[in-house]
Every structure is written in C-alpha cells, then in structure tokens.
C-alpha cells in the first residue's frame, strides 16, 4: 500500500496563478482532510470530507476549494494564489470509526 | 472559537532527563487528545493518544495524562535520548463534529548528549 500520497512535493507560484494540490489514498479511508502548517502555528484545518460527494470547511477555508468525487482522491485548489498561502500543506485520512489521522508527506508551496 | 494552547514553545534538556509538555483546550466536549512528533522536513507522526474516559496512558518512555475538569493534558518523556529531538504537537478532537482536530502551536524539544 502506498498509503497517502501527495503531489507535487514542491511548487513555486506567482501571485494570481492557480493550481491544484493532489492527494490520493489507497486505504479506503472515509475521511480526508487538508491542513496547512506555518512556522510557529501548528497545523490548521482548511477543508475536510466525510465521504465521496461531501465536503465542509475547516478553520481557514478562504482562498481554497475542494471536491471529493471518489473515495481515493481529495484535491485542493488555489484559484488565485497569494503570498499569504505560502506554507506546507498536508493531506490526512482517517478510517471511518477511528480518530487517528494518517498524514501524507506534504507539499511545500511558495507564492512570490 | 475553540483553541489549544501549548507550553513551552521550546524545551532544552540533557540526555537522560525528563521532558514535560503541557496543553490546555477550550472545548469541554473534546474527547480525544493525540500527540504528534514531527522531525525536520517530515510529516507528523502519532506517538500516543488518550481518550476522555482515561486519566493516564503510558507507552514505554512516553506517557500522557489528562485532567478533564481542568481541561489540560500533558506529555511526559522519560530518559530522553538525542533521537527524541523534534517538534511535538498536541491536539484536541472537537466534540459534535467530524474529525476537527485543533492543534497546539508546537514545542521544539532539543535533547543534548
């Protein structure tokens, strides 16, 4: 099993550009989440999904969109990148009847 | 809103000493409290967790205590080793909703040989 995979590992964007961060899992976990990690601030929840077709906002959803068309994939879209979105982004999954989160390796995004 | 406060932000100990990290949370309905270890450039890894119906849990050199009345929980690492050096995060799972883990800001632990 690959577990939770994220692509790309690194990305540099210019202000105003758009892009999609990919997250995929092969563990058949129902729940998936996106976090951003900034220095000195821990991880903050952006969006999450309790299953295919269902998404909801976390603590810091502004500037990001998500969709969940399949159990396996949970992409995060930045429609118009801003320097404030420079961060490390982690995707995480959770089995349906558990609290434990399994994190992906992360994507380091820089917006100039 | 709900938050988790974590102290200290940095902690420096000598190898073999104990290290204690403390967290407080605001949502009295929180019922699950994990601790994560993150090494430089790596993903967070769960090291221990505790549920609200338990006061203490131990796994070899690490232990976690929970005081629900005071809404605080702590991580204890005994006989520290240089490989324990990392950033440690506490988190609280909010009651009443799915999977809303709120993280503390982290503690950078340095264990000196």
pLDDT, tens digit, 9 for 90 and up, residues A19-65: 999 999 999 999 999 999 998 778 999 999 989 999 999 989 999 99
Handedness of CA A67, A93, B92, A97 (dihedral sign): positive
A90-106: per-residue pLDDT in tens? 999 998 777 888 999 99
pLDDT above 80 (res B2): no
How many Å lie between the alpha carbon of A59 and the closest alpha carbon of chain B? 9
- Alpha carbons A105 and A102: distance in angstroms, whole number: 10
Name which of B101, B104, B106, B108 to mutate to probe chain A: the one with the most chain A Cβ atoms within 10 A of its Cβ. Answer: B101
Mean pLDDT of B75-104: 88
A40, A56, A99: residue with CB nearest B32:
A99
pLDDT above 90 (res B54): no
Q: Which residues contact A78 (CB under 8 A, 6 or more apart)?
A: A13, A18, A19, A20, A21, A63, A64, A85
Radius of gyration of chain A (CA): 13
Decide if A43 and B6 are in contact by the 8 Å CB cutoff: no
The nearest alpha carbon in chain A to B35 belongs to A100
Q: Which residues of B touch A100 (CB under 8 A)?
A: 34, 46, 49
Decide if A90 and B44 are in contact by the 8 Å CB cutoff: yes
B1, B49, B89: residue with CB nearest A42:
B89
User: Greater confidence, B61 or B93?
Assistant: B61
Q: Contact B43/B110 with Cβ under 8 angstroms?
A: no
How many other C-beta atoms are found inside a 10 Å radius of the C-beta of residue B54?
13
With an 8 Å Cβ cutoff, is B85 touching chain A? no
pLDDT at position B99 is 60
Decide if B45 and A103 are in contact by the 8 Å CB cutoff: yes
Of A1-10, A94-103, B20-29, B74-83, the poorest mean pLDDT is in A94-103
Neighbour order of strands in the sheet with A64-66:
A4-7, A19-25, A76-78, A64-66
Name which of A33, A41, A42, A60 to mutate to probe chain B: the one with the most chain B Cβ atoms within 10 A of its Cβ. Answer: A42
């Amino acid at each position: 099993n690959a577990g939770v995979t994220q692509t790309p590992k690194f990305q540099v964007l210019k202000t105003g550009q758009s892009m999609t961060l990919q997250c995929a899992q092969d563990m058949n976990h129902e729940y998936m989440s996106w976090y951003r990690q900034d220095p000195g601030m821990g991880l903050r929840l952006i969006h999450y999904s309790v299953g295919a077709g269902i998404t909801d906002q976390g603590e810091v959803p502004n500037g990001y969109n998500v969709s969940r068309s399949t159990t396996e994939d949970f992409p995060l879209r930045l429609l118009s990148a801003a320097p404030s979105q420079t961060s490390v982004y982690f995707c995480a999954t959770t089995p349906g009847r558990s609290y434990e989160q399994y994190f992906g390796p992360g994507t380091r995004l820089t917006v100039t | 809103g709900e938050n988790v406060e974590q102290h200290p932000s940095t902690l420096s100990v000598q190898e073999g000493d104990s290290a204690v990290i403390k967290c407080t949370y605001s949502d009295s309905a929180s019922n699950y409290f994990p601790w994560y270890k993150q090494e430089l450039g790596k993903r967070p890894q769960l090291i221990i967790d505790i549920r609200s119906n338990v006061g203490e849990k131990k796994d070899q050199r690490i232990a976690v205590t929970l005081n629900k009345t005071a809404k605080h929980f702590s991580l204890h690492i005994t006989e520290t080793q240089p490989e324990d050096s990392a950033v440690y995060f506490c988190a609280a799972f909010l009651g009443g909703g799915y999977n809303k883990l709120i993280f503390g800001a982290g503690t950078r632990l340095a264990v000196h040989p």
